[in-house]
């Protein structure tokens, strides 16, 4: 697994681009658990790129939302997924947040305070 090789190098910043894409639910859970364990053990900074807003909400302490290549929101998961983010951008105008709103109707997401 390519992720394991990079983690073994103990980088100060670890960038993970869609690390759970295409995985079955069990493997998806295992990867997220591994990310949390690595962060706890190495106290590194992890940039976690994902279209899965449930994962973003549960793993992150700071969320940055890009829309059409532009940074439109920055804040805690609670701020970003609330009516207005710290940047003042209305989430109804943001494609990424709109997708999150649609998916939340099917599942409940509880943002944690874990750092990522």
Cα 74 to Cα 63, 81, 112: the distances in Å are 6, 10, 17
State mean pLDDT over 93-100: 49
Is the pLDDT at 18 greater than 80, yes or no?
yes
SS3 45: strand
Look at residue 107 and tell me whether its pLDDT is greater than 50: no
Tell me the pTM: 0.66
Q: What residues pair up with 15 in beta bridges, in sequence order?
A: 47
Which tokens is 96 given? 């990424």
User: Who wins on pLDDT, 21 or 4?
Assistant: 21
Q: Give the dihedral of Cα atoms 70, 74, 80, 83; nearest 10 deg.
A: -80
Using DSSP bridges, classify how beta strands 70-75 and 63-67 pair: parallel, antiparallel or unpaired. antiparallel
Mean pLDDT (whole number) for 77-98 = 60
Q: Does the annotation count 79 as an active-site position?
A: no
Task: Please tell me which residue in 18, 33, 36, 79 is annotated as part of the active site.
Answer: 18
């Amino acid at each position: 697994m390519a992720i394991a090789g990079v983690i073994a190098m103990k980088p100060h910043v670890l960038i993970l681009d869609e690390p759970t894409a295409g995985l079955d639910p069990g493997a998806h859970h295992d990867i997220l658990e591994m990310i949390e364990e690595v962060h706890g053990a190495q106290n590194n900074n992890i940039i976690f790129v994902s279209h899965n807003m449930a994962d973003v909400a549960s793993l992150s302490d700071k969320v940055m939302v890009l829309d059409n290549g532009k940074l439109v929101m920055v804040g805690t998961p609670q701020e970003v997924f609330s009516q207005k983010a710290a940047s003042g951008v209305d989430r109804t105008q943001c494609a990424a947040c709109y997708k999150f709103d649609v998916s939340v109707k099917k599942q409940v997401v509880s943002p944690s305070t874990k750092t990522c």
